[in-house]
Amino acid sequence: MHDGVAGAPKVGASAGAGGYEYIAKRPLAVVAVAESRGLPAEVVKNVTERLADSLDVCATRLAGEGRLVPAAARVAAHIGRDGTPEGLALTLTPGPGPTANALLCFVSPFKLVRFPPSELDAKARGIALEASWGGAATSPPAAAPTLLPPPPPP
């Protein structure tokens, strides 16, 4: 089966598993929607699929360079009227390797995502995504917390 967004092989995608709204799995990565608010379901699905593709490509490259560290991360953000993520709240696996992998392969690509503009206030639109990669990518992160309040800093 192939993903229609970027053509990457899809290991599986499902909704509702472990309390997640949507899960996109790839050979070395999984991205799960913990919560979305004020965003069309199709937009959330497409963003999740694109981020899973990007994370898997990045993880594959890092694995080939011997720099991949299996880990997980969570990003939660409000979505501004112009469609840009605002007020990111991050939770990362501690340590320099996991942090570097998360920032390069998950957080930076997320910050580049643009959602459809809306007249809704940023607090009315938001998304929380969780990802794992490397050896931890065989299943989604453990639990789906709510978007607000944001998680405490690590």
- Share the mean pLDDT of the chain: 82
pLDDT value for 120: 82
pLDDT value for 16: 53
pLDDT digits (tens, 9 = 90+) for 67-84: 999 999 999 999 999 999
Which amino acid does the sequence have at 22?
Y
Q: d(Cα 117, Cα 50) in Å, to the nearest integer?
A: 19
